[in-house]
Amino acid sequence: MTEETDFTQQDSDGGSEEVVLTPAELIGKLEQAWLNEKFSPELLENKCEIVECVIEQLDHMIEKFFPHVLEKEKTRSKGEPSILSPEEFAFAKEYMANIETYLKTVALRHMPPNLQKVDLLRSVPKPDLDSYVFLRVKERQENILVEPETDEQREYVIDLEEGSQHLIRYKTIAPLVASGAVQLI
């Protein structure tokens, strides 16, 4: 019999919850989290115990979108799960501080006094939630709204059958990725 492993999770209040996963399930979850994060245009919810192995992907994404990520964290209310783990949050803040110092030292200092501020939120590109992604459906979904591409088309609804594969814009199905109902491929 395969052994079962306990993975103790710390939630945001500092209490702990035990989630019992078989090692095989853990590898499966790791793979799913890896694939979803790889193909998603935006940063997805943090999966504490499996994130160590996905750390490189996340670093890259944080570096690309850092002011928006930090802004999102700031506006996140108490009860909702954090998008970043404590280590990632520290990394993001440090990265931001480093970039600001770098821009200041290398360029801003030499510019006329009234132009010496840079608004990172506006100058760094936002994650493109309108990107197209491929997905496979894990749980059947009904009545997903597909928005029209041109003015002549009208919006229509589709059902997502279990096991089927689709190409669609990320924005429409973003909540389904978070809930695990679809898998990005």
Partner 1 sequence: MDSAEVEFLAEKELVTIIPNFSLDKIYLIGGDLGPFNPGLPVEVPLWLAINLKQRQKCRVIPPEWMDVEKLEEIRDQERKEETFTPMPSPYYMELTKLLLNHASDNIPKADEIRTLIKDTWDTRIAKLRVSADSFVKQQEAHAKLDNLTLMEINTAGAFLTQALNHMYKLRTNLHPGESAPSQDF
Residues of this chain that bind partner 1 (CB under 8 A): 2-3, 23-24, 26-27, 31, 38-39, 122-123, 125-126, 128, 130-134, 146-150, 153, 158, 163-169, 185
Q: Is 82 helix (H, G, I), strand (E, B) or coil?
A: coil
The structure tokens listed for 75 are 């506006």
CB of 116 to partner 1, least distance (A): 20
Which stretches of the chain are DSSP H helices?
Answer: 23-39, 55-75, 86-106, 120-123, 170-179
- Toward partner 1, which CB reaches closer, 16 or 123? 123
- Toward partner 1, which CB reaches closer, 102 or 134? 134
Q: Are 139 and 147 in contact (CB under 8 A)?
A: no
CB of 128 to partner 1, least distance (A): 6
- Toward partner 1, which CB reaches closer, 143 or 150? 150
